[in-house]
Amino acid sequence: MGGRFRKEPVYVGNHIPPHFNEVDILIDQLIVTVQENWGTWSATELAAYCLWRLNWIHPLVDRNGQTARPVCYFQLCFRNGQDSGLKTR
């Protein structure tokens, strides 16, 4: 289930995320916004934006929060020029 963009509507408490047909473009816009503001926003601003935007879009079938938190952490580390300490496969 995890890692796939949702293809159906979801409801998160009182929040109604964007229509699933908009998920691809909203994720692309998130990436472009980070790239365009990499040198002007602080590490905290970039991380906060990613955390908020990913949770607002709610793009995945499952585990959106568990995905957004590491993205936030990586933004903090990479923007500050630090190694995250996490290993990739």
pLDDT in tens, 1-44: 456 899 999 888 899 999 999 999 999 999 999 999 999 999 99
DSSP 48-74: HHHHHHHHHH--BSS-HHHHHHHHHHH
Domain boundaries, given as residue ranges, for the chain: 20-79
Q: Which of 58, 59, 68, 75 is catalytic?
A: 58
In degrees and rounded to multiples of 5, residue 15 shows phi and psi of -85, 130
58 is catalytic: yes
pTM: 0.84
Q: How far is CA 3 from CA 30, 38, 66, 77, in A?
A: 17, 25, 11, 22
pLDDT of 85 over the 70 cut:
no
